[in-house]
Amino acid sequence: MPLDRHRGQRCDLPAGERDGDLIGLDPVDRADRDRDLPSSPEVAVTQPMRVESVAAIGSPSVLEVRLPRTRRRGQDDDRRGSPQRLTRRKDDVSPRARPGGACWRHGQLRRVHRPSPPGFHVMRTARPTAAILATSLALAATGGRWVTAARGGPLPVADATVAVARAGRVVPRSFLGFSVEYPSVSAYFGSAATPTPGLIRLLRTLDRAQHGPPALRIGGNSADATAWEPTGVRPAPQIRTALGPAFLMRLRAVEARVHAPLALALDLALQQPADAVAFARAAQTALPPGSLQSLEIGNEPDFYARRQPTPRGVLGPPRFPRLRHYGTAQYTAGALRYAAALRAGVRPLPRLVVGSLAGTAWEPAIPGLLHRMSAVRSGVALHAYPLYGCHAGPRRGVSVAGLLAPAASSGLAQRVDRMLRVEHATPSTTRVTELNSVTCGGLGGVSDTFASALWSAATLFDLVSTGVAGADIHTSAGAPYAPFAVTHRNGRIQVQARPLFYGLLLFARAAPAGSRVVPVAVRSAAGLELWSTVDARRIVRIVAINPSTTARVVSVAAPGVSSGTVASISMLRAPGPAARSGVSLGGQAIGPDGRLHGPVRSLRVVALRGRYRVALPGDSAALVTLPGPPAAAAGPGVLKASARRAVAARSTLPATRPRA
Predicted pLDDT at 238: 72
Report the DSSP pairing between strands 103-104 and 13-14. Answer: antiparallel
Predicted pLDDT at 459: 97
Sign of the Cα pseudo-torsion (114, 118, 123, 129, in order) = negative
State pLDDT tens for residues 296-346. Answer: 999 999 988 876 666 666 555 666 777 888 999 999 999 999 999 999 999
Check whether 412 has a pLDDT greater than 50.
Answer: yes
Domain boundaries for CATH 2.60.40.1180 within the chain: 158-168+515-643
CA distance 515 to 171: 6
Helices (H), 211-272: 245-258
Burial class of residue 313 (count of CB atoms within 10 Å of its CB; 0-12, 13-18, 19+): exposed
Kindly indicate the confidence band of residue 416, based on its pLDDT and cuts at 50, 70 and 90: very high
Q: What are phi and psi of 457, to 5 degrees?
A: -65, -45
Give the architecture (CATH level 2) of 176-488.
Alpha-Beta Barrel (3.20)
158-168+515-643: CATH, from 2.60.40.1180, 2.30.40.10, 3.40.140.10, 2.60.40.10: 2.60.40.1180
Predicted pLDDT at 46: 24
Among 81-85, 370-374, 556-560, which is the least confidently predicted range? 81-85
Cβ neighbours, 10 Å, residue 371: 10
State pLDDT tens for residues 162-192. Answer: 777 778 899 999 999 999 999 999 999 998 8
Burial class of residue 356 (count of CB atoms within 10 Å of its CB; 0-12, 13-18, 19+): buried
Looking at residues 465-489, what average pLDDT do you find?
95
Residue among 29, 39, 37 at smallest CA distance from 9: 29
Predicted pLDDT at 552: 82
Contact 82, 119 (CB under 8 A): no
Q: What are phi and psi of 233, to 5 degrees?
A: -90, 125
Predicted pLDDT at 610: 66
Q: Which residues are 85's β-sheet partners?
A: 112, 122
Looking at residues 520-541, what average pLDDT do you find?
82
Q: Mean pLDDT of all residues in the chain?
A: 74
Domain boundaries for CATH 3.20.20.80 within the chain: 176-488
Q: Which residues are 488's β-sheet partners?
A: 493
Contact 121, 72 (CB under 8 A): no
CA distance 306 to 315: 9
Residue among 330, 316, 235 at smallest CA distance from 279: 235
Which helix (H) or strand (E) segment is 110 a member of?
A: strand 109-112
> SS3 for 405?
coil
Q: Does the predicted TM-score (pTM) go above 0.85?
A: no
Which helix (H) or strand (E) segment is 279 a member of?
A: helix 273-286
Helices (H), 486-534: 499-510
Predicted pLDDT at 198: 94
Predicted pLDDT at 370: 96
Among 248-257, 316-325, 434-443, which is the least confidently predicted range? 316-325
Check whether 77 has a pLDDT greater than 50.
Answer: no
Contact 489, 233 (CB under 8 A): no
Check whether 411 has a pLDDT greater than 90.
Answer: yes
Per-residue HEC secondary structure of 127-142 comes to: CCCCCEEECHHHHHHC
Sign of the Cα pseudo-torsion (472, 478, 483, 485, in order) = positive
Which residues contact residue 452 at a Cβ distance below 8 angstroms, ignoring those fewer than 6 apart?
A: 403, 437, 446, 481, 498, 499, 500, 503
CA distance 300 to 310: 16
